Amino acid sequence: MAKGFLPVSMKEARARGWDAPDFVYVTGDAYVDHPSFGLAIISRVLENAGYRVAMLPQPDWHSCEPFKAFGRPKIGFLVTAGVIDSMVNHYTVAKKRRSEDAYSPGGKAGHRPDRATIVYCNRIREAYGDIPIAIGGVEASLRRFAHYDYWDDRVRNSILVDSGADVLMFGMGERSVLKVAEWMASGRDFADMRIPGTCVTAGELPEGFVEIPAWEVVAKDRRAYAEAFRVQYDQQDPVRGRPVAQKHGRRWLLQNPPDMPLSQEELDAVYALPYMRAWHPMYDGEGGVPAIEEVKFSIASVRGCFGACSFCALTFHQGRIVTARSKASIVAEGRLLTKQPGFKGYIHDVGGPTANFRRPACDKQLKQGACAHRQCLFPKPCPNLVADHREYIDILRELRALPGVKKVFVRSGIRYDYVMADKKGRFLTELAKHHISGQLKVAPEHVSPRVLHYMGKPDVETYDAFTQRYRQINEALGLRQYLVPYFMSSHPGCTLDDAIQLAVYMKRTGQHPDQVQDFYPTPGTLSTAMFFTGLDPRDMTPVYVPRDPKEKAMQRALMHYFKPYNRPLVLAALKKAGREDLIGWGPDCLIAPYERRTGAQKSDPRDRAGQRSGKQKRPERERSSERRKRR
C-alpha cells in the first residue's frame, strides 16, 4: 500500500523526519499521483531509489519566494511544464487563449505561465543561484534543439539554453533520471555527462558528435533548418543513433543518444510502485483535477509507436520501438482497479500511444534499431512486420473475466492498417463484440495520396477495406456500431483541391464527422518542420503549405460542407478551385446552387472561422493525443 502523497509543504516534510528534501520537483500541473502522469512516475521512481522528493506543483511564478518553500534542497531541482507543452495547453491552433486547463484544480486556466519550464528555472536561479537543475517532460523533450515556435513564429534556442538548466532529460526518463540524480549529487561537471537520454551544454565540441547547423544559421536559413531536422530525426534511435551537437552562441548543445526503452520487467516494476491514484486532497475544495477522470480506471499497457505519423511527436519522445507490460502486470492492475473507490465495473481503456501494438514492429529492432529512412507501415506494411494480436486478445479476455468487471473498453487509437496486416483476422471481431460501445474511433486523416504521403498515413484503399470488414463483422454479430473517423485540414502538402477531394469522398461514403482538426504545428514533428521550411526534410523537395487564414478556413469548412453556416466558405472554395461542377443537385455535389432561407441556416461565426471558443471542451482527439504524449 502507498505510504501517502509525497510532501507538498515543509510541514509535511518534517513530519517524515526530513530536515530538507533531496529534490524539489516543480511542475506546471497539479499534483496527481497516478501512473498516467509523468510527474507521479518520476517522483515514485526516485522515492523507490531512496531519494527524498518534495512536490512543488504550480507555484506562483511572479516572484522567487514560492520556490523557497522547502529551503535549499540537498541535491537540486527537477522541473517540468507538465503533461503537455505549456503553449499547447494555453492556446488553440488559432492562437486564442483557452479558458480551461484539465490539469489544474477545478479545470481553471491561469495556474501556470507560458513557457513554464523557462520561467520556473529562471525563478529558481533567482532564488538559489547555481543550484543544479534538471528539466524534463514533453515541453523540454520536444524543444531540446533549436526549434520553430509556432506562437512566436520564429526559431527559438534550445530550451536548455533559454532555461539556464544544467541538464535536459528527453524521452520517458525513468532510467535516465536515476543516473542524472547520482550525477547531480556527485558534483561532477555537467559538460562531461554522457548519460543516454540527456542533453547538456559545453564550451568545446567533443569527438564523436554529429554536428548540425548552428542556431544562428537555422534561425535564418530554412533549408539549413530542414537539414538539421533530418539529422535529428535520423539519429532518434537508441540502437544506431549517434550523439548530436548544435552550436548556440559560444556553447555547444550536446545531445547524447536516446536511451533504450525499458524492458518488460522494468515497465512492470514502474507500474507496481505505490501510487495513490488520486489528486492531492488539497484540491478537494476546488473540485479536484479533471484530467484524472479520463484515466482513473484505465491501464497503460504499452509504450512507443512504430506508426511514425509525420504530425505526431511520439517518434521524438517515446520512440519507434514498442515495449509492453506483461500480462500478469496488466491483469494485476485491473484487479487493483476493481477495488478503487468509485469503480463501477468499467475499465475505460487498455492501451497507449497505439492500443494494438504489443511488440516491436519486427524481430530485429531491439538489436539493430528501427530502419533509417524507412517506415514500418508506410507506404505499405514492411515485409518484416510481425502483425499479431493474439497476446492482446488474451489480455483483454482475462481482464473482462475479473470479478467485478462488466466491460473492458479500448479507447486508445488503433492502427487499422496493422489490423488489416494481421492475416489471422480475429482481433477486429473480438474488439467489435466486447470492447467498444457503439462507436470505434479511427484516424484516416485524409484521402488524397499527396497529403497522405506527407502525413505518413496509409492509402484510402486500406481504410475502405477496413470499414468494409468492420461493417461485415458488426452485421454478423447483429450489432449496430459505427466508425468515427478523424480528419485533418491544412496539413503541409494539402491544397484546396485536396480538401475538395476529401469533401467529395465524405459525400460519397456518407461520412459526417463531428470533429475535425486543423493542423497544429507543435515542436518536434516532421510536419512542423515542413510547415516552417516549405521543404520535406526527408528529400528536401518543396512542399505546399496552406498559410492564408481564409484558405485554412475554407479547408476546414469543406470537411463540414453539410453544415448550412459553412455554405459561404464552401462556395468560395469551389469557385476558387474552379469546381463549380460540385454546386448543384448531382450525387457528388457538395452544396445546392442557391441558399434556402430558413432559420436553421443562421451563420455560426465560431464554426465558420473554424475555431472553437475558449469555453468549449477540447475534442476527444486532441485530449487523447495528449494522453499518449505524457512525460
The CATH number of the domain where 549 resides is what? 3.30.750
Q: Indicate whether 610 belongs to any domain.
A: no
Report the relative pairing of strands 516-518 and 349-351 from DSSP bridges.
Answer: unpaired
Do 484 and 360 share a structural domain?
no
| pLDDT-derived band at 72, boundaries 50, 70, 90 | very high
Do 475 and 375 share a structural domain?
no
Do 503 and 373 share a structural domain?
no
Q: Average the pLDDT over 431-446 and give the result.
A: 94
Question: Quick one: pLDDT at residue 315?
Answer: 84
Model confidence pLDDT, tens digit, residues 153-183: 999 999 999 999 999 999 999 999 999 999 9
Do 34 and 142 share a structural domain?
yes
Q: Average the pLDDT over 28-40 and give the result.
A: 97
C-alpha cell at 247: 552550436
Q: Please state, in angstroms and as integers, the Cα–Cα distance from residue 544 to each residue in 153, 223, 457, 495, 617, following that order.
A: 18, 15, 18, 7, 31
Question: Quick one: pLDDT at residue 596?
Answer: 65
| pLDDT-derived band at 609, boundaries 50, 70, 90 | very low
Question: Quick one: pLDDT at residue 597?
Answer: 59
- Answer yes or no: is pLDDT of 48 > 90: yes
Q: Say if residues 455 and 543 touch (Cβ distance below 8 Å).
A: no
| pLDDT-derived band at 336, boundaries 50, 70, 90 | very high
Higher pLDDT, 79 or 484: 79
Q: Say if residues 259 and 303 touch (Cβ distance below 8 Å).
A: no
Q: Please state, in angstroms and as integers, the Cα–Cα distance from residue 89 to each residue in 79, 92, 599, 630, following that order.
A: 17, 8, 36, 13
Q: Indicate whether 113 belongs to any domain.
A: yes
Q: Average the pLDDT over 297-317 and give the result.
A: 93
CATH number at residue 109: 3.40.50.280
Question: Quick one: pLDDT at residue 424?
Answer: 84
Mean pLDDT of the chain: 93
Question: Quick one: pLDDT at residue 598?
Answer: 52
Contacts of residue 613, defined as CB under 8 A and 6 or more positions apart, other chains included, come to 606
Q: Indicate whether 246 belongs to any domain.
A: no
Q: Average the pLDDT over 566-575 and give the result.
A: 97
Q: Is residue 281 left, alpha or beta, with left meaning phi > 0 and alpha meaning psi from -120 to 50?
A: alpha
Do 167 and 43 share a structural domain?
yes
- Answer yes or no: is pLDDT of 611 > 80: no
Do 410 and 466 share a structural domain?
no
Q: Average the pLDDT over 377-399 and give the result.
A: 96
Phi, psi of 473 (to 5 degrees): -65, -45
Q: Determine the 3-state secondary structure of 583 from DSSP.
A: strand
Q: Average the pLDDT over 91-112 and give the result.
A: 96
Question: Quick one: pLDDT at residue 373?
Answer: 86
Question: Quick one: pLDDT at residue 511?
Answer: 86
| pLDDT-derived band at 594, boundaries 50, 70, 90 | confident
Name the percent of the chain lying above pLDDT 90: 88
Q: Average the pLDDT over 242-252 and give the result.
A: 97
Count Cβ neighbours within 10 Å for each residue of 106-141 and write b for 16 or more, e otherwise. Answer: ebeeebbbebbbbbbbbbbbebbeebbbbbbbbbbb
Q: Say if residues 157 and 144 touch (Cβ distance below 8 Å).
A: no
Q: Give the number of other CB atoms < 10 A from CB of residue 79.
A: 29
- Answer yes or no: is pLDDT of 603 > 50: no
Model confidence pLDDT, tens digit, residues 484-539: 999 999 999 999 999 999 999 999 999 888 778 899 999 999 999 999 999 999 99
| pLDDT-derived band at 608, boundaries 50, 70, 90 | very low
Do 351 and 427 share a structural domain?
yes
Q: Indicate whether 227 belongs to any domain.
A: no
Cis ω before 379 (30° cut-off from 0): yes
Question: Quick one: pLDDT at residue 306?
Answer: 94
Which domain-ending residue is among 148, 165, 192?
192
Q: Average the pLDDT over 188-205 and give the result.
A: 97
Q: Indicate whether 166 belongs to any domain.
A: yes
Do 478 and 433 share a structural domain?
no
Question: Quick one: pLDDT at residue 604?
Answer: 44
Alpha carbons 205 and 532: distance in angstroms, whole number: 28
CATH number at residue 327: 3.30.750.210
Counting Cα atoms < 13 Å in the Cβ hemisphere of 587 gives 4
Alpha carbons 388 and 394: distance in angstroms, whole number: 12
Structural domain boundaries enclosing 589? 461-560+564-603
Amino acid, single-letter form, for residue 134: A
Q: How many domains does the chain have?
A: 3
Q: Indicate whether 188 belongs to any domain.
A: yes
Do 472 and 419 share a structural domain?
no
Q: Is residue 22 left, alpha or beta, with left meaning phi > 0 and alpha meaning psi from -120 to 50?
A: alpha
Do 503 and 398 share a structural domain?
no
Would you give the DSSP letter of residue 371? P
Q: Residue 467 burial by CB count (10 A; 0-12/13-18/19+): exposed, middle or buried?
A: middle
Q: Average the pLDDT over 32-42 and give the result.
A: 97
Q: Average the pLDDT over 234-248 and give the result.
A: 96
Which domain-ending residue is among 149, 168, 192?
192
Alpha carbons 80 and 85: distance in angstroms, whole number: 9
| pLDDT-derived band at 627, boundaries 50, 70, 90 | very low
Question: Quick one: pLDDT at residue 337?
Answer: 98
Question: Quick one: pLDDT at residue 425?
Answer: 78
Q: Indicate whether 15 belongs to any domain.
A: yes
Q: Indicate whether 399 belongs to any domain.
A: yes
Alpha carbons 41 and 176: distance in angstroms, whole number: 13
From the list 91, 9, 94, the residue with the least C-alpha distance to 55 is 9
Which domain-ending residue is among 421, 437, 453?
437
Q: Say if residues 518 and 552 touch (Cβ distance below 8 Å).
A: yes
Q: Average the pLDDT over 340-368 and give the result.
A: 94
Q: Say if residues 550 and 478 touch (Cβ distance below 8 Å).
A: no
Q: Say if residues 444 and 461 touch (Cβ distance below 8 Å).
A: no
Do 404 and 325 share a structural domain?
yes
- Answer yes or no: is pLDDT of 138 > 80: yes
Question: Quick one: pLDDT at residue 512?
Answer: 84
Do 483 and 408 share a structural domain?
no
Alpha carbons 407 and 344: distance in angstroms, whole number: 10
Model confidence pLDDT, tens digit, residues 339-351: 999 999 999 999 9
Question: Quick one: pLDDT at residue 390?
Answer: 95
Q: Say if residues 39 and 25 touch (Cβ distance below 8 Å).
A: yes
